[in-house]
Structure 1
Amino acid sequence: MKNYKILLENSDLKTTPQRLAILKELDSKGHASIEEIYEDIKEMFPSISLATIYKNINALKEEKIISEICLHQKPKFEITKDPHAHFICKKCGKVVDIPMDELLRPEMNEKYSDSEKELYIYGICEECKDGNS
């Protein structure tokens, strides 16, 4: 996803350099906490506050441009995409997307078509199993 401006133009939000930077950061990281976004963006915008990041994250979330992933530790955010599950490493905290279709039977989607489906799978990632993390 490279055209963040179109995402904003298709919403009720103004296109600002800060919002574009947040979307670019989420796209490059895949999944990031507000603090991680803030640390990377403040290099480009030294006067930006953590409160501004929170405000923009909430606005982007309300417009469904980004989604919140509710983890046991700090929540992370990602650009909204097709339904998918998340594998979370219990050792390093890495989050990996897993296509939802591989995990849910078609009857589940039919029976609960109007619901939001979130699936979190916790385990140890390959890197941690191999001792690389």
Structure 2
Amino acid sequence: MANEQNLIKNEDLTPEQRRKNASKAGKASAKKRQQNKTFKEIINKFLDGRVSDERLKQQMIEFGFADKEVSNKSCAVFALWREAIQGNTKAFELLRDTIGEKPQEKITVNGKINNPFSGLSTEELRKILNE
């Protein structure tokens, strides 16, 4: 078990031992990076992949996409677009929001709020509360 008494400084190791430790550290780091792939990276890998459904691929080409432009990502957008033009408002909102045209959801309230307790101290407020 590692503790202060049995730790060896890196400078006290031989070059061969340093290389061995660096190799172990590199392999452990690579393994950890692989485990930590984000959900986004996984989805992007699928989206960037080629389409295996020839019927869908042909529809995309007929719609005007070049063969090399047909990816899972473009097919997903195409499917979303088809849903939107058939009246699916959620699909429309997702397309609109994706291209950056989402309306602001900010509400500005102007005016003065009348707070009858604003001038009172904490002690005065406690007295009122206990009455």
TM range (shorter): under 0.3
Structure with more relative contact order (C-alpha pairs < 8 Å, separation 6 or more): 1
Between Structure 1 and Structure 2, the one with more strand by share is 1
Which structure has more helix as a fraction of its residues? 2
